[in-house]
Amino acid sequence: MMKKYSAVVIGGGSAGLAAGITLKENGIEDVLVIEKDDMVGGILNQCIHNGFGLHTFKEQMSGPAYAERFKVRAEEVGLNIKLKTMVTHIHEDRTIEYVNPQEGYVTIQADAIILAVGCYERNRGALAIPGQRPAGVYTAGQAQRYLNIDGYQVGSRVFILGSGDIGLIMARRMMLEGAKVYGVAEIMPYSNGLPRNIKQCLEDYDIPLYLSHTVTNIYGKDRLERIEVSKVDEKLRPIKGTEMYFDVDTLLLSVGLIPENHLGDEAGIAMDPRIKGPSVDENYMCSIEGFFACGNGLHVHDLVDYVTLQAQRAAMGAVHYLKNGKPQEKECRVMPGKGVLYTVPNRIHPHNIDKTVEFFFRINEPVDEAVITVRCGERVLRQVKKKYLVPSVMERMMFTAKQLADIDGDITFEMEAVSHDE
Amino acid sequence: MTNKVLTCVGCPAGCRINVEMEGDEIRTITGNTCPVGEQYARQEAVCPMRILTSTVRITGCPYRVLPVTTDREIPLASVDEVMEIIRSTVVKAPVSFEQVLIENVLGTGANVIASKSMPAA
């Protein structure tokens, strides 16, 4: 007999723990959380730096401390978690195949599946950096794990490509561990990291940030010996004659994160190409009934607090589904317009909204001041002025069910920069 | 009159704060959007303070290192010296969450505490 669960959460990181706890707290008894690592907490375990939890706990804490709070709560509610267990396949009929050392290969059935699978890092192959292929070129998160969990010094002379938050945080971390960090190169004319990380990770340690620069060659036979860094033009093409050379033994890549969606893809879940994760509605339900997605496996977040919040909402969506079935109401698309990269959710059932729905979105370039307009056709639903917008900071906007009750078409989010030249 | 532009590290918003100083005296603080920003700017202009996080060696469990943090901010200028102490510290499992591992590190008034619990093997 195939074992059956009301809800199975795939992933025991920040999203999976929050989802599992919320399901238990709302009367769903037989919940299973499946985690491939030997501890819960996911990426939080290696994010030993401070700054998590300001929204959730009203104080700043380290990543492991944030995870610890959820681990304790999971124990309190009696959440069933399988560690060292890898999900190999999920199917449209909501069967799940997993494997672990105790049980071997197992197939189970779930009424609802929450994908809380996290994301992976873009690597050297994704960038196609020319040159030799020595050891010493790591993604920033990989190096972070080696250093902060496994306890190995990753290198002593370091350069970092990409100014994403993990890259910035690793720059400081490597300096603290006695390495010399020569610089951070960013191909864009602006950083993709949070402003506070530019300040406390680079400026505090006098690490130069080379904007509009990228790595154009890699040298080294066994271990990395040298890299070539070039300035790029406005079309991001390297400019000849601008080459600089750094004799480093370690190159860290912090060049973007992508939702881990191979399980969902295989099951036939529709993806939103803008977020590279599943298309979801106001309850975080995917295109296939009974599947839900949240956290970095849905779209990459900059704050764990929002991952927690989203996972709780996805869990409530699953609770709603388990009790009431799938929404029968009319569906409207929610789309990014001019100046906006994506919106999550990207579709809603306006008559199925329970009290409120919050939209997450990102703008496409840094602006000092902008007007955000949310419209349905010609009708403006909301217009707000905002200051200092950057793509690396996710924007949020909340609507009540009442405000969206008489929507009769697609909703568009637009951003227009305010010019002060006149 | 000198003008300092600071990026607040108090939260992810990263407000740009303008501090007008006359010698060592703060005249005006503008650009912050909450009281945390004002407090940060007041401190940052005279003596920058930071939370320091790192790892210490641990024995008696399957892991080689344990994540740690200072339980309050320490002067940025003393970070290198505190790191030397942290790097030479070895603790033994079990360790409980927020257990004090180094008391009043370098006389800063801050303790170095465990960021997570670690049961013995």
> Where in chain B are the domains?
2-46, 53-114
- Regarding the domain delimited by A330-422, which CATH topology (the fold level of the hierarchy) does it fall under? Immunoglobulin-like (2.60.40)
Question: pLDDT class for B13, splitting at 50, 70, 90?
Answer: confident
Extract the tokens encoding A85: 């267990």
Taking contacts as CB-CB distances below 8 angstroms, the residues of chain A near B50 are 200, 204
CATH architecture of A123-255: 3-Layer(bba) Sandwich (3.50)
HSE, side-chain direction, 13 A CA sphere, residue A261: 26
CB A47 within 8 A of CB A14: no
| Main-chain dihedrals φ then ψ at residue A315, nearest 5 degrees | -65, -40
Binary contact (A49, B53; C-beta < 8 A): yes
Give the per-residue pLDDT at A387: 84
Binary contact (A48, B54; C-beta < 8 A): yes
Minimal C-alpha gap between B91 and chain A (Å): 14
Query: Which of A196, A304, A307 is most worth mutating to test chain B (most B CB atoms within 10 A of its CB)?
Result: A196
Minimal C-alpha gap between B12 and chain A (Å): 7
Query: Which of B11, B33, B53, B98 is most worth mutating to test chain A (most A CB atoms within 10 A of its CB)?
Result: B53
| ipTM of model | 0.91
Binary contact (B53, A48; C-beta < 8 A): yes
Give the per-residue pLDDT at A330: 87
- A62 to chain B: nearest residue by CA? B115
Give the per-residue pLDDT at A393: 84
Taking contacts as CB-CB distances below 8 angstroms, the residues of chain B near A149 are 63, 65
Extract the tokens encoding A380: 């403006």
Binary contact (B116, A68; C-beta < 8 A): yes
Say how far apart CA A315 and CA A312 lie, in whole Å.
5
CB A155 within 8 A of CB A250: yes
- B33 to chain A: nearest residue by CA? A387
Tell me the CA distances in angstroms from A363 to A222, A343, A417, B52, one per residue in order: 42, 10, 11, 32
- B8 to chain A: nearest residue by CA? A196
Query: pLDDT per residue over A78-134, tens digit each?
Result: 999 999 999 999 999 999 999 999 999 999 999 999 999 999 999 998 898 999 999
CB A23 within 8 A of CB A33: no
Give the per-residue pLDDT at A414: 96
Say how far apart CA A196 and CA A219 lie, in whole Å.
33
Say how far apart CA A56 and CA A307 lie, in whole Å.
10
Taking contacts as CB-CB distances below 8 angstroms, the residues of chain B near A67 are 116
- Regarding the domain delimited by A1-120+256-326, which CATH topology (the fold level of the hierarchy) does it fall under? FAD/NAD(P)-binding domain (3.50.50)
B79 touches chain A (CB under 8 A): yes
CB proximity list for A382: less than 8 A, separation 6 or greater: A372, A373, A374, A397, A399
CATH architecture of B53-114: Roll (3.10)
What is the helix, strand, coil percentage profile of chain A, to 5? 25, 35, 40
> How far is CA A138 from its chain centroid?
19
Give the per-residue pLDDT at A421: 59
What SS3 state is found at A79? coil
Which has the closest alpha carbon to A168: A190, A196, A148, A142?
Answer: A196
What SS3 state is found at A94? coil
Which has the closest alpha carbon to A400: A385, A413, A382, A383?
Answer: A382
Minimal C-alpha gap between B119 and chain A (Å): 12
Per-residue b/e over A69-99, b at no fewer than 16 CB within 10 Å? bbbebbeeeebbbbeebebeebeeebbbebe
Extract the tokens encoding A6: 């009301």
* Choice among A377-386, B19-28, B86-95 with the minimum mean pLDDT: B19-28
Mean pLDDT in order along chain A per 10 residues (422 residues)? 95 98 97 97 96 89 96 97 98 98 97 98 92 96 96 96 93 96 95 87 96 97 97 97 98 95 95 96 96 98 94 97 89 95 95 92 91 94 90 91 90 91 54
Looking at chain B, the whole-number percentage of residues with pLDDT higher than 90 is: 63
Chain B, residues 55-74, CB within 8 A of chain A, namely 55, 57, 63-65, 67-69
Say how far apart CA A241 and CA A264 lie, in whole Å.
46
B7 touches chain A (CB under 8 A): yes
Taking contacts as CB-CB distances below 8 angstroms, the residues of chain B near A198 are 7
List every span in chain A annotated with CATH 3.50.50.60: 1-120+256-326, 123-255
Minimal C-alpha gap between B64 and chain A (Å): 6
